[in-house]
Amino acid sequence: MRILEGHEAGDVLARYAGGPTWRRASDSILQERVDGILSRVRDGGDSAVRELALQFGDEPPERFELDRDSIAAACARVSWETRGIIERAAENIATVARAVADLIKPVRVEQDGFVVGVEFRPVECVGCYVPGGRFPLPSTALMTAITARVAGVRDICIVSPRLTDEVVYAGTLAGVSHFYRLGGAQAIAALAFGTESIPRVDMIVGPGNTYVTEAKRQLQGTVGIDLLAGPSEIAIIADATANPCWVALDMAAQLEHDPLSRAFLFTTSRKAAEETVQQLASLWSNHDLPGNHDASSAGVFIAVFSNLSDCVAASDMIAPEHLHLHLSQPAALERQPRYYGALFIGYHSTVPFGDYMAGPNHTLPTGGSARFSGALSPLSFLRAQNFVEVCRLDRQAALRTFGFAELEGLSMHAAAVRARVET
């Protein structure tokens, strides 16, 4: 594993900043395969979903939806200790989501004889995709479904290829109406188009593999999409006071998510960089970690810069999902970075706190998309709806509107305004 410096580091970073990892992986073959899956589900419904499940090596259940008895049995199997953990996480997530929702107020303005404004209404039906993969993810069930519920979404379902007891219990805490056992691009298609047994939704949220993400990309416009979440990533800005063992652990925690996950270390200390490399090598030698990465992994990028401002510039170049400040005085730097999904301030603020218990949403932009998008929140589920009422016909305002319509050459717009003035 090489430690880069100066211009060489900048050149390599520029390649990382060239676009999301998942998008680079989303080649024409993947696009064609996903397009074929979407078309089959749109035309074939439940039978197509079953055929695709078999094709991809999954055994489709007799019924896609869990019945009430199965939901109750799944919840009953969750230990009291695990329930307590999930319940406290749910409370914290809901508290943060409600604090955000409380900031959202309708707008009403009177000007030039108009009463105008904006009202915010939630979408009606949301599908939350919870990945199966190597690990069950009840945290994703909480983060997506609770946030939708706080926003006022009426009907929420969870779709997952692995509806573990913990995922079902988390969903029930969030007020989920329905649980469906299916996954992959065919699950996204079923939610977007609807089938005989799976109602169509208005919006799909939640992360997934490259097939899931590509399906969401192709279905934008047909159905609402939260964001196109790619593999997990972290950037760490560290000075000479950082604990290399903690830095390595924080990098490894993100790398264990996925073979395409990325971990970046930007530091002002050559010694900290070298010791972090040693710690990473030790982690892979002494722990039973997934075989996605090793100490020389292409998913690890370590660079030494002459000052913290250059470290911030490097981070902003890639706009990471998670940005962690391993600094003696993080408060002095925390306002400088512009682009990230979530900021973790100080040595102790490891990303897993944000993943599970702290409360802010862990559904975050990846692959540089933090430059133009943000974390999942109640805002994600709301539709801004404008209204206009003429409470007093102001002649000058009408004439200006008439003039604007003529300026753009839209004669019927002008005529519609003139009819009101001449009444």
Residues marked as catalytic: 321-322
What tokens were used for 312? 């911030």
- Residue 133 has a CB neighbour count (10 Å cut-off) of 15
> Cβ contacts of residue 112 below 8 Å, gap of 6+?
394, 396, 397
Of 210, 218, 286, 250, nearest to 22 by C-alpha is 210
Tokens of 160: 């997952």
| Backbone phi, psi, residue 386, to 5° | -80, 155
Distance separating alpha carbons of residues 190 and 41, to the nearest angstrom? 6
> Can you tell me the distance from the alpha carbon of 101 to that of 148, in angstroms, rounded to the nearest whole number?
11
Extract the runs of DSSP E, i.e. beta strands, from 161-198. Answer: 178-181
d(CA 134, CA 25): 21
The percent of the chain in helix, strand and coil, each rounded to the nearest 5, is 45, 20, 35
**How many other β-carbons are positioned within 10 Å of the β-carbon of residue 335?**
8
Q: Which amino acid is at 35?
A: D
**End-to-end distance of the chain based on CA atoms, in angstroms?**
79
- Nearest in space to 222 (alpha carbons), one of 177, 178, 191: 191
What DSSP character marks residue 223? B
Contacts of 321 (CB under 8 A, 6+ apart): 232, 233, 234, 340, 341, 342, 364, 365, 366, 370
